Amino acid sequence: EDPIALDCSSDDMVREARTGAGVDHFNLIMCVNMTHIAPIQATEGLIASSGELLQAGGALAIYGPFKTHQGRFTTPSNESFDASLRARNPQWGYRSLALLDKLCEDAGLRLETRLDMPANNFMSIYIKDAT
């Protein structure tokens, strides 16, 4: 199937996803390189909607650059890139892994694994447990 383009900051994301895919629940939702180049509302919407859209055992995979749990950058080049993003749009910028984990926890998603990836990125996999 083709991917479904969604506005993660929209209140209609859940309906649009279900309509676009023709299903009520998903096995996997994948987000690549979005959280740092979008307002925080997009990240919040993605995660809250994923909590509704994923079936029990389904996964939310989020890939991209993040600050550490302590709010630190992993490299000086990441700090410079974050500054350039914020100069272009003050609503953009690196989010912390702690924020990501908290938003997912609030949406009923638990961290399954986190992988260090090339270019100082992370892949975080969250699972929706049975309710």
Q: Residue 4: which pLDDT band, with cuts at 50, 70 and 90?
A: confident
- Structure confidence by residue, pLDDT tens digits, 87-103: 999 999 999 999 999 99
* 45-79: b (≥16 Cβ within 10 Å) or e: bbbbbbbebbeeebbbbbbbbbbeeeeebbeeebe
CB 36 within 8 A of CB 94: yes
Summarize the confidence of residues 6-28 as an average pLDDT: 92
Min mean pLDDT across 2-6, 16-20, 109-113, 120-124 is at 2-6
Q: What pLDDT is recorded for position 131?
A: 66
Per the structure block, which two tokens stand in for 58? 């389904």
Residue 53 near residue 83, CB atoms below 8 Å: no
What pLDDT is attached to residue 81?
97
Alpha carbon distance 108, 93 (integer Å)? 25
Average pLDDT over the chain, rounded to an integer? 95
Asked if the model's pLDDT at residue 29 lies above 80, the reply is: yes
pTM of the predicted structure, to 2 decimals: 0.93
Secondary structure of 21-32 as H, E, C letters = HCCCCEEEEEEE
